[in-house]
């Protein structure tokens, strides 16, 4: 069970990542439906995951939703993606059960984070993902909104960047719905299903988020 929520929305909550969450993170990062859109070919061991967080994880949060009784094994509509090297992303619609309804314990569904930070410029590289069985429920959009609100309002972030494969329209839609502007395209920057793919570059300024 995740630790106490750092911040909560209508259907999801963000939680600091603890050691007991590492197994779920290893599962997600190794799943092809997550690692391929993230253009992450590295297979993560348990030691690799531990190393990811050994220097602190101030800008990494576990994305959780209420436990759901229905089977969502075949849910579609949210595509994983990356922003530290893409934008661990997806898109979607659909109702989700509130994390506070009926006393349900929050269930880990993904991660939202800054893959890296340029601390001197207060610029973060957004990355997020949702496990395949939880995609298609709109969790990424709301979770990323909570995360960005924290980063811009409380941490004084100046800008959030994100990278998205050109073939990942769902992830691009998430970013655009949150107010990101496409700033350019890097040609043949990643490989998807054995083929070269372009990568779109997105950015969001603090003034655009706060106004």
Residue 70 pLDDT: 46
- C-alpha pair distances (Å), 102 with each of 97, 179, 198: 10, 33, 45
Residue 54 pLDDT: 79
Q: Are 14 and 143 in contact (CB under 8 A)?
A: yes
CA distance 126 to 203: 10
63 phi, psi to nearest 5 deg = -95, 125
pLDDT tens digit sequence for 109-134: 999 999 899 999 999 999 999 999 99
Task: State the architecture of 7-210 in CATH terms.
Answer: 3-Layer(aba) Sandwich (3.40)
pLDDT at 187 over 70: yes
pLDDT tens digit sequence for 81-112: 444 344 443 333 333 333 334 456 899 999 99
Residue 171 pLDDT: 93
Instruction: Give the position of tokens 């839609």.
Output: 173
Residue 184 pLDDT: 97
Mean pLDDT for 23-34 is 94
159 beta partners: 123, 205
- Burial (CB count within 10 angstroms: exposed 0-12, middle 13-18, buried 19+), residue 70: exposed
């Amino acid at each position: 069970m995740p630790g106490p929520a750092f911040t909560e929305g209508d259907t999801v909550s963000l939680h600091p990542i603890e050691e007991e969450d590492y197994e779920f993170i290893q599962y997600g990062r190794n799943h092809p439906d997550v690692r391929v859109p993230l253009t992450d070919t590295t297979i993560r061991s348990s030691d690799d995951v531990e190393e990811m967080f050994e220097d602190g994880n101030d800008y990494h949060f576990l994305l959780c939703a209420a436990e759901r009784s229905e089977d969502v094994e075949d849910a579609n509509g949210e595509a994983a993606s990356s922003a530290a090297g893409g934008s661990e992303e997806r898109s979607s619609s659909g109702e989700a059960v509130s994390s506070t309804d009926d006393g349900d314990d929050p269930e880990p569904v993904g991660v939202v984070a800054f893959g890296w930070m340029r601390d001197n410029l207060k610029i973060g590289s957004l990355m997020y993902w949702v496990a395949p069985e939880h995609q298609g429920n709109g969790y990424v959009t709301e979770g990323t909104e909570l995360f960005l609100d924290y980063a811009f309002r409380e941490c004084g972030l100046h800008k959030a960047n994100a990278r998205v494969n050109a073939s990942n329209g769902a992830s691009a839609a998430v970013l655009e719905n949150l107010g990101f502007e496409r700033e350019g395209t890097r040609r043949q920057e990643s490989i998807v299903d054995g083929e070269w793919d372009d990568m779109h570059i997105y950015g969001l300024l603090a003034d655009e988020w706060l106004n």
